[in-house]
Structure 1
Amino acid sequence: MAKKPRSKNYSVLLGAAFLMATSAIGPGFLTQSAVFTEQLGATFGFVILTSVILSLIAQLNVWRVIGVSGLRGQDIANKVFPGLGYFVAFLVALGGLAFNIGNVGGAALGMEVLFGFDHTIGAAIAAIIAIVIFLSKEAGKAMDTLTKILGGAMILLVGYVAVTTNPPVGEAVARTFVPDQLPMLAIITLVGGTVGGYITFSGGHRLIDAGISGEENLDEINRSAYMGMGIATIVRILLFLAVLGVVSKGFALDPGNPPASAFQEAAGTIGYKLFGMVIFAAALSSIVGAAYTSVSFLKTFTPAIGDHVNKWIIGFIAVSTIILITIGRPATLLVIAGSLNGLILPVTLGIMLVASTKKEIIGDYKHPKWLFALGILVVLITAYLGVMSLSGLAALWG
């Protein structure tokens, strides 16, 4: 495939990076960071470091195989073993649904902060806005623009609050490299919330839709993956420091809306309202990303989906909203959704690693042996952490 003009490519690469990052920087990302920072204190820095390393390895392996092959995740899985793609699509779509329920819940929390709405009304408003995006004929471009604007706004606001809380940076740095405990549930939850389930595939699938694939575009594929991980990591660190600055002074977060209470303590009523805007924006961008990517795992199986993608995305958003309104407990769902996506990661990453060895999938491309070896290590680590975290996940729900 011939390369596109670089100026046009850059916009698409940035859009794919922000799609991945804002899918990860959703309300679950914000809620998980606040909850675990309160529980672990400065040691949460170690969790961030570990999760970033594991996530980057997973991201590079998956994006390279998708990008070089020009195939979506489910089609790659079917080439690895006939029928496996259907299983993968089911896993990813189910995980995406779980995550999207949490995303809708996050939007409901944001609307509660801004206007005092209960979670039913807030969830319905978020769903309607997201659905309107996919009623547009230029849904792809609208999605790219939305994620870029909202991602940039979140970085600026969270960075401001991180400075105002005056966190104990020295202690945070020390505990990042010398933790006082090994919190397995937190690690698998953060990995799941950053690259688990559908999130790892979101940017790669977007690049394929934009026509950027093949080994000749490998440098650009890598660049987009690095940008996506970089954006997500910056926000994670800033949010950690912002909340740490609050809880280190003895403030107890509101369990019903942990991150909002942290920002209220840090910046008063204005900070509380601004954070309501951010968590709603984070939720909206993640609702869009989760629905788009989950349906992209189904659309190549049958024309009934492939010819009506936007309608299926709208239906996906509607179902997520109905389930959230029925079950409730959005703050808990946000943390659980990340753990579920983390449990899916070793399965999907393992399949991509097998695919990287098959010439009929990747052609003459030679996948780096060091990246393959590290990928296997991540599969083993995340599989172990996922199994070990099941008891903690059950306790969280109970």
Structure 2
Amino acid sequence: MRVAVIGAGVVGAAVARDLAVRGATVTVFEQRHPGDGTSGTSFAWLNSHDKHPEIYHRLNVEGCLEHARLAAGFPGGAPWYFPTGNVAWAGDPEGRATLERRVTRLDRLGYPCRWVTHDEVGRLEPDVRVPEDVERIAYFPGEGHVLPAVLLAHLLGQARECGARLLFPAVVTAVEPHQRGVDVRLDGGESHRFDRVISCAGRWTEALVATADRTVPMAEATQPGGANLGLLAYTRPLPVRLSRVLTTPRLNVRPDGGGRLVMQGLDLDAGTEADPAAVGDAAAPPADTLIQRLGEVLAGGEFATIEALRVGRRALPADGLTVAGFADGETRRFYVIATHSGITLAPLLARLAAGEVLDEQASPLLASFRPDRFRHAAGTGPVTPARRPGEQ
């Protein structure tokens, strides 16, 4: 089967890999370069920490398990995969109550979580500073993080080894499904015909799907602080010890390899603008705020220097939930994947989509996430921005 994959972020790369491994003839179209969209500005936290409703929680739980299965296929180890857990605590009474409710809910759902003491945190992460007045510290041992660029390299590398072609820059201007196949039209007028097309175009999904006269609405920022915008800070190498994700009252932080850290302060997203130039360089005011916060939670963090500030633009369907399925009804030529939590879900969605496209076997896990739910798109409301730890 000849299959086109549009988009070479982590989701598109995972899809291309699974299709190629299974023997499909795969061509990947990428408009700029691999990982240039959301994948390049992701906190990359593997979790189902605060995912609602329960069907979406279950999908993300399976996504975390799929990462473990993928990593197990590399006998020498998967250098992008760190299932080291997440340590979390709250500050004000509202935050503490929220964390208590979250742990109670997740425990009921069978999600690994437990309360730990200050001493236990010290054994897990000697450089982490938990304020003395924090009475409840939660530990989520089944969570973790990945290094997106390393994961992307391995997915695309395997896809190429199995015969996939990667074309970039290649701007797709239209997808036209019909009974004989599906045509992919490129900027400049060039056209290619395939048996199936899978869109993994991230935040460009809505415009691409519209070229096939279908609707998959995506959340877009109309003003600073939109739900799909997030500010990330990347440090230079720093001699501190941190092996896990930390979600704290004013800062989320994780390792990024080579002694670097990635930080986000969700409250700072409220002023984030879609234009990355609006942030300024690494000396912009948010950098000083984040360094101060890092020093509060990590010994030696106050000596950090920021290498880059980046505005992440999340690929966020209009109702906040994953989209996965055929968008063109009876023709079943044009398959669409669009999702927040793309890092967590990419390997799982790739395996399930490959089965639906190549085997025509519908996955029960995806039954609630089909594109046709947007036929009455007027019923979708705005997505609430994440502002407190664990909400994204």
Q: TM-score, normalised by structure 1?
A: 0.27
Query: Which one scores higher on RCO, CA 8 angstroms, separation ≥ 6?
Result: 1
Between Structure 1 and Structure 2, which shows a larger proportion of strand residues? 2
TM-score (norm 2): 0.28
Structure with the larger helix share? 1
